């Protein structure tokens, strides 16, 4: 892995959003960073993909400067369909092809330097159904290297 890392530690979010919107036309303009989880239920008037930073882990060398980072990103697909509030079957039928397209767009995709390939991993959340909204989480991870500055290199 090349050393240096991204200039913006969270820049991958924008790359993932652009990739989903390009590969899944049904979600064009509907890929959104998630601020408040309550937004998923209040604004889920259509199909939408929410991007959420997931667990990030770090492993540094003996100097503490060379850091290998494993970064995870959650894509939570929400589909609102109140056709059958009890079973949620219409929302699942609506969500199934979108889930497939998101996985096809992101799994094994190389988002460019400094990131490694995205791998799909078991999500930290389970799918859920509430008030006519199906929430289906997917989770992807990538790795990159990061070089910390030494005290002498830091800007005043």
Q: Would you tell me how many other CB atoms lie within 10 Å of the CB of residue 42?
A: 10
pLDDT at 4: 62
Q: Would you tell me how many other CB atoms lie within 10 Å of the CB of residue 89?
A: 12
Higher pLDDT, 124 or 41: 124
Q: What is the residue-averaged pLDDT of the chain?
A: 84
- pLDDT tens digits, one per residue of 76-107: 998 876 555 566 677 778 899 999 999 999 99
Of the pLDDT bands very low, low, confident and very high (cuts 50, 70, 90), residue 72 is very high
Mean pLDDT computed over 20-33: 92
Contact between residue 127 and residue 139 where contact means Cβ atoms under 8 Å apart: no
Higher pLDDT, 154 or 22: 22
* % pLDDT > 70, the chain: 80
Place of tokens 């006519």: 132
What is the CATH number that goes with domain 12-147?
Answer: 3.30.2000.30
Q: Where are the alpha helices (DSSP H) in 86-151?
A: 89-106
Q: Report how far residue 117's alpha carbon sits from residue 6's, in angstroms, rounded to the nearest whole number.
A: 15
Q: Report how far residue 151's alpha carbon sits from residue 95's, in angstroms, rounded to the nearest whole number.
A: 50
pTM: 0.83
pLDDT at 133: 82
Residues 109, 102, 142, 10, CA torsion sign: positive
């Amino acid at each position: 892995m090349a050393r240096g890392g991204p200039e913006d530690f969270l820049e991958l979010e924008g790359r993932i959003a652009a990739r989903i919107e390009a590969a899944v036309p049904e979600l064009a303009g509907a890929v959104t960073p998630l601020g408040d989880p309550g937004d998923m239920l209040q604004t889920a008037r259509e199909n939408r993909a929410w991007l959420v930073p997931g667990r990030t882990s770090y492993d540094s060398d003996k100097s503490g400067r060379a850091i290998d980072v494993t970064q995870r990103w959650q894509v939570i697909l929400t589909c609102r369909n109140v056709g059958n509030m009890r079973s949620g079957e219409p929302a699942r039928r609506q969500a199934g092809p979108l889930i497939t397209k998101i996985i096809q767009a992101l799994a094994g995709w190389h988002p460019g330097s400094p990131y490694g390939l995205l791998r799909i991993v078991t999500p930290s959340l389970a799918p859920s159904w509430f008030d006519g909204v199906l929430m289906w989480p997917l989770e992807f991870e990538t790795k990159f290297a990061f070089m910390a500055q030494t005290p002498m290199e830091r800007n005043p």
